[in-house]
Amino acid sequence: MATRAMFFKRADQPAAVGGETWTSGPDSFKLRPLPSEDVYFFTKKIDNSRVVREADPASHRRAVQAGLKGFAVAGLLILLLMPRALEMVAGYRIHALSADHDRLVNQKAAIALEEAQLESPQRLQQLAGQLRLVNPDPKNVVMLNSAKPDSALAALNVTR
């Protein structure tokens, strides 16, 4: 490890010439040098303020054109692929709706069937019996209108 004493000592001596090391002298306090200890870094300030890029309109135009072409190709690709993608999305949606429709149709049929079973005359008759309902007294039934034709002969004329 380089010590402070060694650092200052090394700076006081002139640089070695022809591969001769400056540690040739007897110095019991010196340590073995580190690898690449002779590499020094320093900061060099470069002033590029006076460097100006040469104006190249053709290159600029090519760059812009290339960019535009890239966008155009990308847009075209998107335009080409978008319908297919939308079609797939719509397909999923349509089939989901179709399945919903079928389910609702089946549900409606099941409800209609249940309603028909509940309105079955035999069931109503049993319920009426349980509730002790009776048919109305015939004397209380007054027919105000007849849905039937006035006469058999009239019906005959109509059919003819």
Partner 1 sequence: MLGWGRRAKDERIREGAHPATRLLFLAAAALLWAIVVLCRLVQLQVVSHKTYQEQADHQQNHILRVDAPRGSVFDRYGHVLAMSVPADSVAIDPLLVPDRPLAASILARELGVDRADLLARMDAAVEEHRLALEQKRKPKGTGFLWVKRKIAPAEAEGLRSLKLDWVEFRKEPHRYYPDGPLASHVVGTVDFQERGNLGLEQRLDRDLNGRAGKVSMLTDVLQRPIESTVSAVAEPGQSITLSIDESVQFVAERELRAACEFYHASSGSTVVMDPHTGEILAMASYPVFDPNQPPAPDEPHSARFDHPVSVAFEPGSVFKIVTLSAALETTNLRPETPINCGNGTINLFGRVIHESHHGWGTIPMADVLAHSSNIGAIQIGLKVGEKNLLEYVHKFGFGKTTGIPLPAESSGMVRDLKHWGKTSIGSVAMGHEVSATALQLAQACSVIANGGVLVRPRLILRRQRPGGKVENETAPAPERVLRPETAITMRQMMEGVVLRGTGKAARLAGYTSGGKTGSAQIFDLQTKHYTHMYNGSFVGFAPVTNPAVVIAVTLNGVKMFGGVVAAPVFKSVATETLRLLAVPKDIPEVEPPPLADPEEANDVSIADMSTPPEDLEQLPPPPAVAPATAPAPAPAQMAGPSVVAVAGPSAPSFEGKTVRAVIEQSMAMGVPVEVVGSGIARQQAPPPGSPLNPGEKVKVLFR
Among 3, 59, 65, 120, binds partner 1 (CB under 8 A): 120
Instruction: Give me the phi and psi of 39, to 5 degrees please.
Output: -85, 125
Q: What is the 3-state secondary structure (H, E, C) of 91-119?
A: HHHHHHHHHHHHHHHHHHHHHHHHHHHHC
Nearest to 86 by CA among 97, 76, 75, 94: 94
Instruction: Check binding of 91 to partner 1 (CB under 8 A).
Output: yes
Name which of 60 and 101 has its Cβ closer to partner 1: 101
In the numeric block, the tokens 């591969």 are attached to: 19
Name which of 24 and 151 has its Cβ closer to partner 1: 151
Among 18, 19, 26, 138, binds partner 1 (CB under 8 A): 138
Of 27-35, 42-50, 52-60, 84-92, the window that binds partner 1 (rule: CB under 8 A) is 84-92
Q: What is the C-alpha separation between 133 and 126, in angstroms, rounded?
A: 10
Which stretches of the chain bind partner 1, using CB under 8 A? 87-88, 91-92, 95, 106, 109-110, 112-113, 115-117, 119-122, 125-126, 128-130, 132-139, 141, 143, 145-153, 155-156, 159-160
